[in-house]
Amino acid sequence: MFDDINDLYQQVILDHCKKPRNFHELPQATCSAQGRNPICGDQLKLFLALDGEKISDISFTGSGCCISKASASLLTEFAKGKTKSDVEKMFGQVHEMVTSGKVLGDVGKLAVFAGVHKYPARVKCAILSWHAVMAALKGESKPVSQFFQSHSSELKPDASLSANG
Ligand code: ZN
């Protein structure tokens, strides 16, 4: 059966996979974090420039599957100009959506990931960039290079994934 909504969602994911938005380093970043998903081979770095509570700019680099890249691309589109608490709230909504398929509230374009819950192997791909952005927010105001030196070995997105279910 042809499904218009799913077809549209796939087109959005493919578009962001092929042409990821905000895909570059951010020299003025005030915080950053890496995310790795060894099961799939996804590796992402998120860069954030914080202005108080507001995310004035955000970008990412790395490599990975289509889902992980599209997820990071759509995350950066969403998060730019938002506050830390906006992103924390949306993390909860996206986590619920990709694990159960339930869409809570208005998630905008991020709704394209609602179908991911049917493919348990891809859930970590879809949520990877969200764990990275949360880690980056917790490490705010530290220079990127120092953050990597002092914290990179502590960043284990998979451990937090299994802890969160
Ligand atoms: Zn992946």
CA 114 distance to own-chain centroid: 14
117 C-alpha to center of ligand 1: Å?
14
User: Torsions phi, psi of 18, nearest 5?
Assistant: -75, -35
53 C-alpha to center of ligand 1: Å?
30
Q: Is residue 68 part of a domain?
A: yes
Number of C-beta neighbours around residue 117 at 10 A:
17
Q: Write the CATH number for 9.
A: 3.90.1010.10
Residues β-bridged to residue 63? 43
Q: Is residue 133 part of a domain?
A: yes
Whether the pTM exceeds 0.85: the reply is no
Q: Is residue 60 part of a domain?
A: yes
Domain range holding 91?
Answer: 2-157
Are the C-beta atoms of residues 139 and 31 closer than 8 Å to each other?
Answer: yes
pLDDT number for residue 140: 54
pLDDT number for residue 144: 43
Q: Is residue 85 part of a domain?
A: yes
Q: Is residue 117 part of a domain?
A: yes
30 C-alpha to center of ligand 1: Å?
27
> Which residue bears the tokens 């398929």?
101
Q: For residue range 73-130, what is the model confidence (pLDDT) as tens digits?
A: 999 999 999 999 999 999 999 999 999 999 999 999 999 999 999 999 999 999 999 9
Q: For residue range 9-48, what is the model confidence (pLDDT) as tens digits?
A: 899 999 999 999 999 999 999 999 999 999 999 999 999 9
156 C-alpha to center of ligand 1: Å?
16
120 C-alpha to center of ligand 1: Å?
11
Q: Is residue 121 part of a domain?
A: yes
How many folded domains does the chain comprise? 1
36 C-alpha to center of ligand 1: Å?
9
Are the C-beta atoms of residues 161 and 130 closer than 8 Å to each other?
Answer: no
Q: Is residue 142 part of a domain?
A: yes
In b/e form, how buried is each residue of 59-83, taking b as 16+ CB within 10 angstroms?
A: bbbbebbebbbbbbbbbbbbbbeee
Q: For residue range 51-61, what is the model confidence (pLDDT) as tens digits?
A: 999 999 999 99
Q: Is residue 19 part of a domain?
A: yes
